[in-house]
Structure 1
Amino acid sequence: MTPEDPEETQPLLEPPGGSAPRGRRVFLAAFAATLGPLSFGFALGYSSPAIPSLQRAAPPAPRLDDEAASWFGAVVTLGAAAGGVLGGWLVDRAGRKLSLLLCSVPFVTSFAVITAAQDVWMLLGGRLLTGLACGVASLVAPVYISEIAYPAVRGLLGSCVQLMVVIGILLAYLAALRTAGPQRGAPCRREERDPDGQSPSEQGFHLALLWQPGIYKPFVIGVSLMAFQQLSGVNAIMFYAETIFEEAKFKDSSLASIIVGVIQVLFTAVAALIMDRAGRRLLLALSGMVMVFSMSAFGAYFKLTQGIPGNSSHVALLAPISTEPVDASVGLAWLAVGSMCLFIAGFAVGWGPIPWLLMSEIFPLHVKGVATGVCVLANWLMAFLVTKEFSSLMEILRPYGAFWLASAFCIISVLFTLFCVPETKGKTLEQITAHFEGR
């Protein structure tokens, strides 16, 4: 079959127009593409139950101290940043489909290295490889889906990337609970052509292109969306979840983690179902306002409990939790539980899936590989900084100050959405490009 054969590409590039087989092929191809993000989510969720187990490991198994545990959780973001750069290059050279298939190599290799690890360096090396695969998958899957989907379902299918990520996280939590029990403890390459007739070998990116409105406007929007997603404080909330649930006297914090995962999956699914009706801007704005309220309440919890004797809320994120219950803080801990669940729901509806969806929609085809690579790089570098330095920020600003700072970033993200982010609902990729070019 030749590259130009319409039977190979055309059913995926046009609306079904009443043709059920064409619609089914689009959904089936999108599902196959999201299997990479599913592995991505499992890899992210794996670190939460794995770190306590590795810290208690007995010889000859490698054991993590506090510093190594911090790196075990954070090094995956460095690998993902490198994966974003690699994915941006790979998607234009090898094509979208082959790039998706190649993601499986570092995924399989990384878990094999972690399973066979004899020392801490092998564990960290495995996590670095995991991050590399996550970075490539988080770039290629949204790009591929945005290009095969017709406008009426592009929001639905694009949101399924984030849905599969949170399902993977939930599966990791469930696997950890099942394991812990009652204790807690390459195909043939072919030349591909884009709808504008250009092949990857004819595409290219030059710095001079950044002077063009059709390039620099979506570039600024894409990078800003990725930065605001991480500055919202979502990683800090996720890392502090177990502490909050324990202070609220949850007997099994592993089960609490599953509750968090279920909330993520449910509200990400809701976002996917309403994305093409409500629109991207509306969901981003509503999501941001919910995060402002919940993060402010979360900071208020820390402010109100900072003077309670024996309360563990004002210490660093990774500090041990007091085993003695503090009755004075239990009621306030429920404020934190409610705020955290509300934040996760709000994030899942908008700022979780939409930045990835918009990243795949707003760039012209001839620069999409490099531009999306830079966006993914920005996202994972910000994730690394927030993950690694949030404990230090809590010591400098106090916990309530750190979370109120995140609330301020959420306010800025809402304003940025209202004034800078265009609506892409129902538009073809060509119409979106024409909008930025002023045509």
Structure 2
Amino acid sequence: MPRRNETSTFGDRIAEHHGRDIEFENLRKETTISPHLPGNAADHARRNLNAKLANPLAGFTQEELRKQGVNFAIKHCLGDEEDIRAFGIGAMLAQTPDKFATVPGLKPEELEVLQNEFAHRWSQPWTMYLVVALCSVSAAVQGMDETVVNGAQLFYKLQFGLKEGDRTSDWLTGLVNAAPYLCCAVISCWLTVPFNAWFGRRGTIFITCCISAITCFWQGFVNTWWHMFIARFALGFGIGPKSATVPVYAAETAPPAIRGALVMQWQMWTAFGIMLGYAADLIFYDIKDPAGIVGLQWRLMMGSAMLPAIVVCCFVFRCPESPRWYMQRDRYDKAYQSMCRLRFNKVQAARDMYYMYTLLQAESSMKLGRNKMLELITVPRNRRAVIASELVMFLQQFCGVNVLAYYSTQIFVMLGDVHIRTALVASFGWGVINWLFAIPAVYTIDTFGRRNLLLATFPLMAAFMFFIGWSHSIPEASTHARLACIALGSYLFCAVYSTGEGPVPFTYSAEVYPLYVRSYGMALATATTWLFNFILAVSWPSLQSSFKSQGAFSFYGAWNIVGWFAILLFMPETKGRTLEELDQIFSVPTRLHAQYGLRQIPYFIKRYILRQRVRAEVLYERADAHAVPTDAGYNA
């Protein structure tokens, strides 16, 4: 690749990305790794093949960056002299945000704010905490929508004439439970792009929460299985676009230091909503039917999920719109106003906004006029991101977690001499663990890494899923022992899932796609997870009837083993990478990454089992470690 001069444009730089696949392959052919080299020499030779990761602002002097920032502010009429000055300094800060001490012209109060940003990353303006609350409650809406049906189905099935063990009734039960996810997969997730284009991030969240509130209320008034199916199918219009929009909104508004943690909170607070759903089932269990009303308890269970959606609708427009969304529509003044509300100081706002501008400029040169959905497949960098994102989204369902989320109460009741209240309490315990063990992932996802979390947890999930299945072989005379073992296996599986495959997929999918196709990539990712969610939910009653609990749980245990190998081979690590670094990472040919993954198996055996002193192979190296931000920041 020809060396870039200091005055090259961002468009020129990003255009080089299209040739990186060819360049990487040529470099591989030119470099030979002899089998006769000693281990360290062979490792060194392999590292010469690594993608060299660069900051898009590297190469510019501070004075050049200052002039660029000033010109940007003047061109887009972004305030007075103080604002123009802030953009001059912000452009310099954007090059190396952690090297703020070397940037000239900072006032003492600005230097103090920047120091505090790195020393106390959760010290944020109240508006940023309002955004955190919005994303959290929106996620709780999602979780509660999913799980109130767990306990309610035990009651409305009888009222609708759906008999336990009847093959037709099993499929109808699964179809009613899975109706929202069918809607998500085939219709609503694909509305994410037009909804975001027409209404913005906040508008999309507001509309989808309105739909969730109305349909939850509707579910409390149905009297037949097909009417329940229609109401729950309509609920999918409130689930699909919201699940794709909220993580992106979080990523686009959060400062670099907490971006990964804030995006990950989608899963943590979804888990909280799941727990609320189980709690609602318990709270309304003892409600008796008054005169003229049949099934008041399950109607209140289903209707209670409307409450968090109403809360979101009440304050969503108190939050600022995504600055990136404004900038994509050339509304730079609105973007700057939003960013100033989300940061303590104008210098911080100018820094982050200018960096967003450089990424938008870079990505605009990649818009080749082709269909964007087609570019997800035809552009090699995008295609590899699709493979990795689709893989983790698929496995989020086929690890088997939502069998427990949707059917745990029924599973416990089917053991025999287990009271419904006991089964509801056991399910609530599952929900509590699901939430509590999601909390540490706020830390581990940006320290341990996305890929490492999955490689560490999938073998454990497989073991616990097999344990749940074969615990059903305990003799029926020992009902309490069976209940204890199945509950234990479920809780252990949940604890492991909540620290790994729970938080990773949405965080990973929200960051791996370039901005110009991100809405399309997230729509595809969420459609995938909801499609397989539907398949799992609709098929479980019949799968359990046909193969018994032992075979049904073992089926998903086997998928966890398959998933471990797939992640090892096809999922690159994204922790701590900027957007430009991700372009380099996903330019590495898939077969080379798969070969690297296979080489990690003997390394692990030597290092952790045989306790040998061996050096880990590093697939990706930064060309200039000092020029690249070290946090997970500028990747959204």
How does the TM-score come out when normalised to structure 1? 0.82
Matched with 2:535 is: 385
Q: Who is 1:218 aligned against?
A: 385
2:481 to 331, 344, 347: 331
Shift of 1:125: 2.2
- 1:189 and 1:168 mapped to 2: Cα distance? 24
Task: Give 1:156-195 correspondences, 5 Å limit.
Answer: 156-181=261-286, 192-194=326-328, 195=356
With over 3 angstroms needed to count, the CA separation of the structure-2 counterparts of 1:283 and 1:70, relative to structure 1, is same
Cα 1:124–1:240 change in 2 (3 A) is: closer
* 1:395, distance to aligned residue in structure 2 (A): 4.5
More deviation in 129-138 or 426-435?
Answer: 426-435
Q: Any conservation in 2 of the 1:152–1:426 contact (CA below 8 Å)?
A: no
2:394 to 227, 240, 254: 227
Identity level (%): 23
Q: 1:209 deviation in Å?
A: 5.0
Structure 1 100/261 Cα, relative in aligned 2: closer, same or farther at 3 Å? same
Find 1:282's aligned residue among 452, 460, 469: 452
- Equivalent residue for 2:162? 65
Are the counterparts in 2 of residues 162 and 353 from structure 1 also a CA contact under 8 Å?
yes
Q: d(CA) in 1 for partners of 2:226 and 2:178?
A: 14
Partner of 1:51: 153
Retained in 2: the 8 A contact 1:85–1:374?
A: yes
Deviation of the 1:142 alpha carbon: 1.0
Deviations 1:318-369 (A, max 9, x none): xxxxxxxx42454344322211111111111111121111010101100011
Task: Note closer, same or farther for the CA distance 1:145–1:98 as it changes in structure 2 (3 Å cut).
Answer: same
1:399 paired residue number: 549
Decide which of 38, 43, 51 is 2:140's aligned counterpart: 38
CA distance in 1, matches of 2:559, 2:463: 12
Single out whichever of 246-255 and 76-85 deviates more from structure 2: 246-255
User: Deviation per CA, 1:352-399, whole angstroms, max 9, x where unpaired?
Assistant: 121111010101100011111111111111111111123333444443
Aligned CA distance change for structure 1 residues 3 and 133 (closer, same or farther; 3 Å): farther
Which residue of the partner structure matches residue 268 of structure 1? Answer: 438
Counterpart of 1:436 in structure 2 is 586
**Higher Cα radius of gyration:** 2
Of the three residues 96, 108, 112, the one matched with 2:217 is: 112
Amino acid at match of 2:563: S
In 2: Cα distance, 1:391 partner to 1:65 partner:
12
Alignment-derived partner of residue 323 in structure 1: none
Per-residue deviation at 1:416?
A: 2.1
* 1:47–1:72 CA contact under 8 A, matched in 2: no
Taking structure 1 as reference, are residues 301 and 118 closer, same or farther at Cα in structure 2, changes over 3 Å only? closer
Partner of 1:60: none
The corresponding residue for 2:242 is: 137
Q: Which residue of 2 aligns with 1:351?
A: 501
1:81-107 per-residue CA deviation (whole Å, 9 max, x = no partner) reads: 222111144234543232222212211
Unpaired stretches in structure 1, ≥5 consecutive residues = 58-62, 309-325
Aligned residue type for 2:432: V
Cα 1:213–1:349 change in 2 (3 A) is same
Return the match for 1:127 from 232, 237, 247: 232
396 and 174 in structure 1: CA distance in 2 versus 1, 3 angstrom threshold: closer
3-state DSSP class of the match of 1:357?
helix
Deviation at 1:127, TM superposition (A): 1.0
Q: Work out whether 1:197 is the aligned partner of 2:360.
A: yes
- Residue 471 of structure 2 is matched in structure 1 by 301
After TM superposition, the score normalised by the length of structure 2 is: 0.58
For residues 387 and 183 of structure 2, what CA distance do their matches in structure 1 show? 23
Aligned AA for 2:229? L
1:240–1:24: structure 2 CA closer, same or farther, 3 Å change rule? same
Kindly report the root-mean-square deviation, in angstroms, between the aligned alpha carbons of the 2 structures: 3.3
**Conserved in 2, the CA contact under 8 Å of 1:153 and 1:276?**
no
Q: 1:213 to 1:92 in 2, by over 3 A?
A: farther
SS at 2:447 equivalent: helix
- Quick one: distance in 2 between partners of 1:381 and 1:64? 27
SS in 2 for 1:259: helix
Check conservation: 1:113, 1:122, Cα contact below 8 A.
no
User: The residue matched to 2:440 in structure 1 has which SS?
Assistant: helix
Aligned CA distance change for structure 1 residues 245 and 278 (closer, same or farther; 3 Å): same
Which letter maps to 1:32?
L
Q: Which of these residues, 232, 254, 263, is aligned with residue 149 of structure 1? A: 254
Cα displacement string for residues 179-213 of structure 1 (whole angstroms, at most 9, x for unaligned residues): 2238887979996125233699x896151452222
| Number of the residue aligned with 2:61 | none
Q: Cα 1:24–1:414, aligned 2, differ >3 Å: closer, same or farther?
A: farther
Task: Indicate conservation of the 8 Å contact 2:143/2:271, yes or no.
Answer: yes
Q: Is the 8 A contact 2:173 2:538 kept in 1?
A: no
CA distance, structure 1, for counterparts of residue 197 and residue 527 of structure 2: 17
Selected match of 2:128 from 7, 26, 29: 26
Partner of residue 252, structure 1: 422
**How far apart, CA to CA, are the structure 1 residues paired with 2:195 and 2:437?**
32
Question: 1:278 is paired with a residue of what secondary structure?
Answer: coil
SS at match of 1:276: coil
- The CA distance in 2 between the partners of 1:174 and 1:218, in whole Å, is 38
C-alpha contact (below 8 Å) 1:41/1:165 kept by paired residues:
yes
Is contact 1:3-1:193 (8 Å) kept?
no
Distance 1:55 1:206 in 2: 41
CA contact (8 A) 1:92 1:369 kept: no
Shifted more, 273-282 versus 118-127: the winner is 118-127
How big is the shift at 1:243?
4.7
| Post-superposition CA distance 1:17-52 (Å, at most 9, x none) | 335875554343232133222111111111112222
